[in-house]
Chain A
Amino acid sequence: MALPYSCIEACRLSTNGADEWALIAASGTRLVVQSSSGAYTTWPPASGSAVGDTEAEGPPGKKIKLSDPSENTSNFSCLALTHDQKHIIAVTAEDKCIRVFRIDTEFQLQQLSQRCMTRRPCAIAMTSDDSTILCADKFGDVYSLPLLPGPEDEQIRSPSVEQSEAAGEKAFVPAASVLTVHSGRNRRVLEEQLKQAAKGPKKPKEGPTFKHDLLLGHVSMLTDIAYANVNGRSYIITADRDEHIRVSRGPPQAHIIEGFCYGHESFVSRLCLVGPDRLVSGGGDPDLFVWDWTNFELLGKLHLRDAVLRFLREQPDLAARVPEDANSFRIAVSGIWHVPSEANEILAACEGIPALFSFRIGISSTAEQCIVLTGNALDVTFIRQSQTGCTAVVSVDNVHVRVSTTERREAEATSRLEYFSYRPGGQWEQDAETGRAFERISQSGGHADKEASLMTSTTGSEKALGAILYGIENLRKRPDSDD
């Protein structure tokens, strides 16, 4: 089985004046890189090929083991490219790690650092100068980390500091006293604390030893983060499960909230900046919202659910999935992407829907085009072929049945990636040429089989796979009764 690519990024490298592109895709616990000239590498490097070279077509340099790869048993959940395209930041879910890789001239990934957070990161963004990673976590907090750990980090990590900390630890004094009047429950907690104290000091919990600064936080699960620079002012925009889109100042004034974009009635799962002052947000609501976010003003809505329903009805094999009462149909937005060559064109995807929907912001609130895919849309990245056109690379679910997030296909689809090019003023069309250039990374059989066998052992059950690929609908609140 070849796992689908949960995330994908495209990066451009200029070598000897010629532009070369590479796709970097995350599949389970591995990263795969293929360049348009055919170079193909993985991280961690495949252990078999590191010893005996069985693939003749690869460049000779690619087999070098650059870091200790044996440990990664966590699945990649998030990728972000620096603006200068020299580094890629990857988040692994289970171990809560932020890894920074350098992309070298032969499109090899060299891991520079691996920093494990205390809470699982759910989205990352880069500041515009590429110096700082902004990490939003499931606990609602945003931390800033330097892209490249500086020398001061080494100091923090030195054991002498830890020792002195341990020595300086005070004897336990309970926070409450018998005089504090509280419920019986609290009194029991106090008794428990005293009992624990009698057993001797607890081992101090290992916090991160690297530099990381708390910038801001919501009392809610964060779902996405964006960084913007407008007229010399920097902003951090954060979205949460409780319908909020918060606009804060950028560091070093991230503690100041400038305002909120109010209007969502369900969770917000994705933010997408379009130009400097337009923001498109989506989540559990039927529409995408278009904001003049610096003024916290809703400009309009894009009717995404209508587009999804229209698409399903038009597909003979999927029409049955449309409920009789179309209003009860729910979508969960899994991606919104700004098309780089166009000022106001965006693509949107919903969880478990095998299509992309294009909208033109400020022109129409209905979808311009529906791009039909062979599997559920997972992620999109863009290769900019020329000044005027670009190609969307779409990662599709080759494992699950179309429109299902749980049901396995009987036979795997042959491709994990699809390619569509955009012609100015026109339409998205299948781009077979780019597809051929990236055939190796796209295919799901053949070469992929070998790496797949490595992955099944680590990713385990169907449920785990579903959790990696489809977590958005779970953000929806269920009516509960804990009053």
Chain B
Amino acid sequence: MPGEPAKRQKREAYKSSVESEEQQAALPKKKFYRQRAHANPFSDHCLAYPKSPKDMDWASHYPAYAVQHDSAVRTEDESHDAAQVSSRRAISKPVEIADIGCGYGGLLFALAPRFPDTLMLGMEIRISVTEYVQEKVRALRTQNAATNGFQNVSCIRANTMKFLPNFFSKHQLSKIFLCFPDPHFKQRKHKARIVSYTLSSEYAYVLRPGGIVYTITDVEDLHRWMVEHLEKHPSFERIGEEEQEQDECVHIMRSETEEGKKVTRNGGQKFVACFRRVEDPPWP
């Protein structure tokens, strides 16, 4: 395609300038990170994901929360590697909020200051978009170094439809956000939707009882689909209108996500539905 090489060249030049000039505090420019809005969740991709939640290197994402092992272990060269690996991995508290399909991270950057003591993770399947959020996290952390701001937010590239349980252990999360997901209009693509009856079991697995799944979309049909599938699932109950509107996360989700802003600009509608994860019933 003509134009491609120039675009790639510009992107590469931009990205190397970000690294070399130590513009640690400069926010990344979105135009260099755009990527088509769809990804095939069924394809293998070249994904990096931990074998299990225990193998996840969380400390590299939340360095301010890293647990430093006693440095005595690290004195000799021989034990150096092993000690570093383990000290890099552990963090003092687990991630509790996941924004699945976080896009450019609008929601995360709004939530981070409101829940300063809660770790939150954006998960995005598109590689460039993930890089953008990571760059923005780095820049915001540098800008807010004095207050230790934005240390509680990070982003990884992941296909959560396949690998969510590789990142989070049972009942680890308190909130999952599914904001403006790909509607997959075609009937035969419906299994690619981020909400389905069967996938809800995985959301229920990583959510603690009482935890909440937040959904928002501007496509009414998708809204009905998500409500239908989550309501059908015995592990979830829909949260009533009144309680929903009292939740500040709902307001942030409406106003702060990139798509949310876009829909407002276009005068479109936004459909919100929230679901509480109920306690598992006793074995029959």
The chain A residues found within 8 Å of chain B, CB to CB, are 139-141, 174-177, 179-183, 185-186, 189-190, 193, 214, 216-220, 232-233, 242-244, 246, 248-249, 252-253, 255-257, 259-260, 262-263, 265, 477-483
B205:A193 contact, CB within 8 angstroms: no
Chain B residues with Cβ below 8 Å from A257 are 165, 201-202, 204-205
A186:B185 contact, CB within 8 angstroms: yes
Contact of B46 (CB < 8 Å), options: A140, A244, A479: A479
A219:B37 contact, CB within 8 angstroms: no
- For B280, the closest partner residue in chain A by CB is A256
CB of B245 closer than 8 Å to a CB of A: no
Q: How far is the CA of A246 from the CA of B201 in the complex (A)?
A: 11
Q: How far is the CA of A140 from the CA of B266 in the complex (A)?
A: 38
B259:A181 contact, CB within 8 angstroms: yes
Q: A176-B183, A190-B185 are in contact. Are A260 and B46 (CB under 8 A)?
A: no
For the complex of A and B, the 4 pairs showing the least CB-CB separation, nearest first, are A217-B198, A175-B221, A262-B52, A179-B268
Question: B56-80, CB under 8 A of A: which get 1 and which 0?
Answer: 0000000000000000000000000
A–B Cβ pairs within 8 angstroms, 27 of them: A176-B183, A176-B221, A179-B263, A179-B269, A181-B218, A181-B262, A182-B37, A185-B37, A186-B183, A189-B185, A216-B198, A217-B196, A217-B197, A219-B199, A232-B283, A242-B162, A253-B281, A253-B283, A255-B197, A257-B202, A257-B205, A260-B165, A262-B52, A477-B44, A480-B45, A482-B40, A483-B45
Chain B residues with Cβ below 8 Å from A480 are 43-46
CB of B36 closer than 8 Å to a CB of A: yes
Q: A175-B185, A179-B268 are in contact. Are A244 and B165 (CB under 8 A)?
A: yes
Chain A residues with Cβ below 8 Å from B198 are 140-141, 214, 216-218
Chain B residues with Cβ below 8 Å from A218 are 162, 198
Chain A residues with Cβ below 8 Å from B204 are 255-257
**A119 smallest CB distance to B (angstroms):** 10
Q: Which residues of chain B in 4-56 are interfacial with respect to chain A, using CB atoms and an 8 Å cutoff? A: 36-38, 40-46, 51-54
- For B54, the closest partner residue in chain A by CB is A262
Chain A residues with Cβ below 8 Å from B40 are 482
CB of B251 closer than 8 Å to a CB of A: no
Chain B residues with Cβ below 8 Å from A180 are 183, 218-219, 263, 268
**B222 smallest CB distance to A (angstroms):** 7
If over half of A's interface residues share one DSSP class (helix, strand or loop), that class is named, otherwise mixed; here it is loop
CB of B235 closer than 8 Å to a CB of A: yes
**B85 smallest CB distance to A (angstroms):** 18
**B214 smallest CB distance to A (angstroms):** 19
B221:A183 contact, CB within 8 angstroms: no
Q: Which residues of chain B in 149-200 are interfacial with respect to chain A, using CB atoms and an 8 Å cutoff? A: 161-163, 165-166, 170, 183, 185-186, 191, 196-200
CB of B2 closer than 8 Å to a CB of A: no
Q: A182-B183, A482-B45 are in contact. Are A217 and B266 (CB under 8 A)?
A: no
Chain A residues with Cβ below 8 Å from B161 are 219
Chain B residues with Cβ below 8 Å from A482 are 40, 43, 45
Contact of A216 (CB < 8 Å), options: B37, B42, B165, B201: B201
CB of B284 closer than 8 Å to a CB of A: yes
Chain B residues with Cβ below 8 Å from A255 are 197, 200-201, 204, 233-235
Chain A residues with Cβ below 8 Å from B202 are 257
